[in-house]
Amino acid sequence: MMHNPPAHRIVIVDDHPLMRRGLSQLLELEPDFELVGEASNGYQALDIALEQAPDLILLDLNMKGLSGLDTLRALREQGCQAIVVILTVSDNPNDIRTLIKAGADGYLLKDTEPEQLLVLLQEALTGQQVFSEQVRQYLADSAQENDPLQDLTSREREILHLVAQGKRNKDIAVLLFISEATVKVHIKSLLKKLNVGSRTAATVIYLQTQDK
């Protein structure tokens, strides 16, 4: 006889009663989810998390008293193992960065379609980080800005590394078992991608990325 796996235990933390009611009604539609607690502030959330040991906590960001960020930190400090997904109206880049750095497992906006929200929560419970499309786009853009070498091929990175060590084209060709003409082609390509006009400028960019 087949047994259904136990439902995932979920806690909602939000200081708006209407939001909590809407979320609880949505979660009730999903047989895989069991709502085991609702909190209207961070302090209640800490108590419920200790008492219920939920699998997932849906956490609002802007709450009176203990903010979502402080609640998340406190949950992690008290050893809470639950997956914590932020559900907020804020798409502020600073909030996104701060919450992810503090250990949030996802960052979803409150204008997410209900069906999509359920899908994303299911994904979060499999261990994936989940983000609303706007948030995902911001993170992708931010990663690209932070890594100026993003567009270089592995061979171009290898050559730039040797250029930064002061190696000449002839030396690089010998070290990499390629022709000097091929080295020149790679260097021309990487200078174009980095939008610089000289090996020295490319070296400066490379060294800055190593300092991060």
Per residue in 71-84, pLDDT tens?
A: 999 999 999 999 99
Give the other-Cβ count within 10 Å of 133's Cβ: 10
Position 211 scores a pLDDT of: 66
Position 102 scores a pLDDT of: 86
Position 2 scores a pLDDT of: 52
Contact criterion met (CB below 8 Å) for 107 and 135: yes
Q: Is 56 helix (H, G, I), strand (E, B) or coil?
A: strand
> Hey, what are 96's tokens?
């996104």
Position 201 scores a pLDDT of: 85
Question: With 0-12 CB in 10 A as exposed, 13-18 as middle and 19+ as buried, what is 111?
Answer: exposed
Distance CA 15, CA 116 (A): 23
DSSP-assigned beta bridge partners for residue 29: none
Position 53 scores a pLDDT of: 95
Those residues of the chain that have pLDDT short of 70 are: 1-3, 144, 211-212
Distance CA 133, CA 109 (A): 9
Distance CA 160, CA 194 (A): 11
Q: Which residue has the tokens 């919450």?
A: 99
Distance CA 157, CA 172 (A): 12
9-37: pLDDT as tens digits: 999 999 999 999 999 999 998 899 999 99
Contact criterion met (CB below 8 Å) for 86 and 59: yes
